[in-house]
Structure 1
């Protein structure tokens, strides 16, 4: 029953987030997602699924995305891939839902900070960093880890511009 209660709580949070994607709901969801047993900051599984899509293995990737959707929640990339998968299956209502989740997830990433060292973007996964970089058209020449506790990364452009990211970990920034 405890697992069922957690499932309902997560679903309620997801619905609330979709209705009002603000930072307070996003923070609660970040905590819920980061505490899932199959959550991983590196999101290697997501990277593997992107490569599978690139190889034309969309069905394989989609099946795994659906299975991992909670651990990948708030990932703009994962929601976009799910949207594409639902659309290919003729499920436009689910595709539209995932598209809205992708947009809302990106919006809360962008609202979490300004990319400065003092107000870094707050991310759950490495792939979230790249979603922000892609959205901002920030072309980096190098990147590095600024600190490990909490983990903070920096991306540096060829003209010296810098964007900072901090990883959310179990309610601790």
Structure 2
């Protein structure tokens, strides 16, 4: 299957098998970079009111940033600002799908870490849960490496780094 077919299969039937296939397609894309900083890319453009610039900059990174909740939300907001409501709605749905792909595939615990494609996704999940990291540590595990965030209340949230594991979704 190619990326559009894999993406459609997951969007229509978000099973662990389809998610694993989509993760493989994304990480194999030439535009994939687990250290991409979506916010740094779009913030200057948003401040300048360059909504089309936001769209162009993010689409130039596809499919490597597909399933980035932050990327899809920025796209949704940019399309909405341009009055392109159908595109804004589509990207909002992709943002929710992206967040669900992380939160339903793990529990954020050592035994069941959230799978992430990018470091920035970790912070997006924490922000969505209104939690703040006070420390981040890279921890090797049997299934690859995890980023472990210690939160303000002393609890921890675990994220499995999919680019550092042979099993993209742990399936």
For Structure 1 versus Structure 2, the TM-score category normalised by the shorter chain is 0.7 to 0.9
Instruction: Report matched runs for 1:115-130 at 5 Å.
Output: 115-130=108-123
Equivalent in 19, 39, 43 of residue 47 of structure 1? 39
Structure 2 residue 155 is the aligned partner of structure 1 residue 169: no
Query: Could you list the per-position Cα deviations for residues 29-71 of structure 1 after superposition, in whole angstroms to 9, with x for gaps in the alignment?
Result: 1110001112101113x23223324532443322111222211
| CA contact 2:34–2:163 (8 Å) conserved in 1 | no
Gaps of 5+ in 2: none
Equivalent in 145, 153, 156 of residue 150 of structure 2? 156
Count of aligned pairs between the two proteins: 165
Tell me the SS of whatever aligns to 2:163.
Answer: coil
Q: Distance in 2 between matches of 1:169 and 1:40?
A: 9
Gaps of 5+ in 1: 1-5
- State the partner residue of 1:16: 9
- RMSD, aligned CA: 2.0
When normalised by structure 2's length, the TM-score is: 0.87
- State the partner residue of 2:125: 132
Q: Tell me how far 1:77 sits from its aligned partner.
A: 0.6
Q: Distance in 1 between matches of 2:88 and 2:81?
A: 9
Q: Distance in 2 between matches of 1:32 and 1:88?
A: 30
Structure 2 residue 104 is the aligned partner of structure 1 residue 111: yes
When normalised by structure 1's length, the TM-score is: 0.86
Tell me the SS of whatever aligns to 1:143.
Answer: strand
Q: Distance in 2 between matches of 1:68 and 1:89?
A: 20
